[in-house]
Amino acid sequence: MNLYKILSNTPLTKSVYKMVLEGDTSAITAPGQFINIELTGKFLRRPISICDWNETTITIIYKVVGEGTRQMAEMKEGETLDILVGLGNGFNTNIEKMKHPLLVGGGVGVPPMYGLAKKLLAEGKRPTMIMGFNTAEEVFYYDEFVALGLDVFVTTVDGTGGTKGFVTDAMEQNGILYDYLYCCGPEPMLKALHRGVMTSGQFSFEERMGCGFGACMGCSCKTLTGYKRICKDGPIMYKEEIDFEK
């Protein structure tokens, strides 16, 4: 068993929570990886992206969307969880000539961008962040990205915060300059970015998973380079291999 102790579990919005876990983090090698949490009474583990980590703790941010995440929201400090750690391929930051990457996160696609931003900054890159939400009440982690020193743009579909519209509207209206793209969020957002962005980039996908480590083949999808498992070969894929028509 891979047990991790809950150090804190606090709400960021009405439905989004931040959980800090203590335990072995040596298996985490890149931002964009995820963990898989075993929950009492649930057959399948719950995959959650890693927001941040250090030598002894993992920070995750999750949204309550069903029974499993509702169960997580009720957990208290000191409880323990059985977790598979360091799953997925993670983002590659070793990109030739990349200096000003654009990071785009939609909803709970925002958290993995935080760890990515920290790594890019440590490597001397100058990332810009766009956060997309439906309404201002859903916005979280804006101050945390600003504290890193990033230029941060917020979009809301209803216009109650930041730029009204979608992340692509913020890109157009603010004249953001970039030479590479990293993104994570709902598929309609990824599709719009895939169509509209001229640079290369890496896309993080969400998918229903069985095992979470590539054994069951339940999350396989077709790409231009063959079938890939979102949990093992992904969740990060390069723009050039993605075919949304398939």
Say if residue 119 is exposed, middle or buried (CB neighbours under 10 Å; 0-12, 13-18, 19+). middle
User: Quick one: pLDDT at residue 72?
Assistant: 97
Distance CA 110, CA 13 (A): 14
Q: How many helices (DSSP H) and strands (DSSP E) are in the chain? A: 5, 15
Which pTM value belongs to this model? 0.93
Q: How many CB atoms lie within 10 A of CB 128?
A: 20
State residue 158's pLDDT score.
96
Give, for 113, the enclosing helix (H) or strand (E). helix 111-122
d(CA 9, CA 235): 25
What is 3-87's CATH superfamily? Translation factors (2.40.30.10)
Q: Which residues contact 104 (CB under 8 A, 6 or more apart)?
A: 113, 129, 130, 132, 167, 181, 182, 183, 184, 185, 189, 193
The predicted structure's pLDDT at residue 242: 86
- Measured CA to CA, the distance from residue 9 to residue 20 in angstroms comes to 7
Asked whether the bond before 235 is cis by omega within 30 degrees of 0, the reply is yes
**SS3 for 140-155, per residue?**
CCHHHHHHCCCEEEEE
Task: Check residue 185 and give its pLDDT.
Answer: 93
Contact 47, 212 (CB under 8 A): yes
pLDDT score for 210: 57
Q: Where are the domains of the chain?
A: 3-87, 101-204
What is the fold, at CATH topology level, of the domain defined by 101-204? Rossmann fold (3.40.50)
**What is the mean pLDDT, run by run of 10 residues, along the chain of 246 residues?**
94 98 97 95 91 98 95 98 94 96 97 98 98 97 98 97 95 93 94 94 76 55 70 81 79
